[in-house]
Structure 1
Amino acid sequence: MEVGKPSRTALATAHVRAYHQIAPEPRVFTDPLAVSIMGLTAAELTDQTNAATAGEDVAFHRVRRLFMASRSRFAEETVAEAVADGARQVVILGAGLDTFAYRNPDPTLRVFEVDHPATQAWKRQLLAEAGITVPDSLTFAPIDFESETLATGLASAGFAGDQPAVFVWLGVVMYLTREAIQSTLRYMAGQATPVRLVLDYIPPASEAAPEHRAQLQARADRMAALGEPLLSHFTAAELAAELRAAGFDSVEDLSAPDLIAGYVGQDELGPERLHARVARAVCS
């Protein structure tokens, strides 16, 4: 991301999440704040989406939306399970324009939104313009990882490391180095158990079907040109090994088609081209 500016990835993700609320496809994930936080009408959102995808593979973008909606639903279901088991803290890493904290049905659940200071300042401006109230249960934890660690940033925000927590880490891992990922996993696993974690990641292009590799490379090139290059890829076995090495003792891993099919059925999907996976891990 550019210094002093919000993440382009955060904006793109929020746009997809918002359009999913009005798109003619199965409603995997309902977010009544997704459109309003963008400051757009449904018509404006549709026009921007059509312009952004003009001449591109419409079916691919539809499956991508379903995946992003499915991973959000999967994460919030994991949070609900953790709360039912007694957790009272959720940390959303790379929160972007995520709206869970503003829809949180449990005022006893403390939500920590971790993001770059520029992205959080932008989000707070959008929240104010949309008239979305910041609840007392939410704590912003602006962290510039070039000068501060997750541990110190969360400690400063009041996160209680001696109490169980659930971590949501979506749309971030692929932009980090292996070293940064490993240190973050160790930090999470070092908190009071049980610790739950949901994350998504991108496998190596070599694992994709040959006919889709050029599309994946083009996507990577676009991200690099925007200043947000893809730095880390994992096979499912490699990610499981990293999680277990960090201290997690249970790992569930789903491909994008399997995750989506669990909510809408296999008939809604086309050929596998998305090349993304979601993992849920527990440190007990």
Structure 2
Amino acid sequence: MAERKASRTAVLVCQGRAVADGRLAVGRFADPVAIELLTAAEQEPVGRVRSGVRPKPFGERMEYELLTGTTEVLVVRTVAIDDAVRERGNPQLVILGAGLDARAWRMAELAEVDVFEVDQPASQQEKRERLGERTALAASVRFVPVDFARDSLGAALAEAGHDETRPTTWIWEGVVPYLTPEQVEATVEMVGKHSAPGSRLILTYPVPSRVYSIGRKTVQVLLNLAGRNNPMAGEPNRSSWPPERMRKLLGARGFDVTTDVDQLSIARGLDLAIERDSFLASSRVTVADRQ
């Protein structure tokens, strides 16, 4: 992105985590930092959803429903990803497309872990301003600004101090659908080249689903009718993956799939009451390890 501003989807994701904190999957999910990364205007819809009172005006109601649905997705995948990070306990963590992710500031389990946050330079600069002087819980946080159209991710990570001889956990959350199949393959190739034995790749991805595609388009139309900003306008859906195809892609780059679970199953395991189960059923969380 050209402008010096956090992406709308990054803000929406942060709002979803702020809505869920202390309300959903208590004991398994917590993100008290999320609300502090939002501006006063961005906090307003968070407060409305946390109140549980659906507004009557059409525009506010659409904003409410979008954020409610986002919150359900965020809680489920965040719990699964955090569990996978803790389970492996690698000394390095790379977050691809970090956005307003707060793991390095909320997870005490990262106290001895070097965290590398990779994102577009403009988005990353604004995040650092939003963080202010907040102290990270991780051993270190290295910001790795990368213009994916021009820069080498591997070179940028090496310059930031990433050691490819040591095991790394990679988080690739909520990015795959916005990339072409070729871009997904190239990223997995890069991750494989810079992963020592014992490394772990955690990613989320959508499976082919007409229900998901139609639902996404419907939300966009309703947001436009309501005169509300569409956070998905600049990030069209570019790829979806059958699980077996994703397994083959990862296997060809040296990663054996440990778990690959649809998010609806994860939600049921957390005893969450989900209103939009079709979206969760068509999204998966995969954990793959390099032996």
Q: TM-score, normalised by structure 2?
A: 0.82
Separation in 1, partners of 2:188, 2:99: 20
Match of 2:215 in 1: 215
CA contact 1:255–1:278 (8 Å) conserved in 2 = yes
Match of 1:9 in 2: 9
Give the percent of matched residue pairs that are identical in Structure 1 and Structure 2: 29
Classify 1:60/1:121 alpha carbon distance in 2 versus 1 (closer, same or farther; 3 Å).
Answer: closer
1:55 is displaced (CA, Å) by: 3.5
CA contact 2:203–2:285 (8 Å) conserved in 1 = yes
Separation in 2, partners of 1:251, 1:44: 38
CA contact 1:22–1:42 (8 Å) conserved in 2 = no
Structure 1 counterpart SS, 2:277: coil
Report the AA paired with residue 242 of structure 1.
Answer: L
Match of 1:97 in 2: 100
CA contact 2:198–2:289 (8 Å) conserved in 1 = yes
Separation in 2, partners of 1:53, 1:31: 27
How many residues are aligned here?
272
Which of 49, 73, 78 in structure 2 is aligned with 1:72? 78
Classify 1:216/1:205 alpha carbon distance in 2 versus 1 (closer, same or farther; 3 Å).
Answer: farther
CA contact 1:188–1:195 (8 Å) conserved in 2 = no
1:150-229 aligned at under 5 Å gives the runs: 150-190=153-193, 191-206=195-210, 208=211, 213-219=213-219, 226-229=233-236
Match of 2:134 in 1: 132
Report the AA paired with residue 82 of structure 2.
Answer: E
Separation in 2, partners of 1:279, 1:196: 10
Separation in 2, partners of 1:55, 1:36: 24
Report the AA paired with residue 16 of structure 1.
Answer: G
Which of 253, 266, 270 in structure 2 is aligned with 1:259? 266
CA contact 1:10–1:96 (8 Å) conserved in 2 = yes
Report the AA paired with residue 46 of structure 1.
Answer: G
Q: TM-score, normalised by structure 1?
A: 0.84
Separation in 1, partners of 2:69, 2:234: 25
The answer for unaligned runs of 5 or more in structure 1 is none
Separation in 2, partners of 1:217, 1:203: 16
1:115 is displaced (CA, Å) by: 0.6
Pair 1:115-2:122 in alignment:
no
Classify 1:236/1:219 alpha carbon distance in 2 versus 1 (closer, same or farther; 3 Å).
Answer: farther
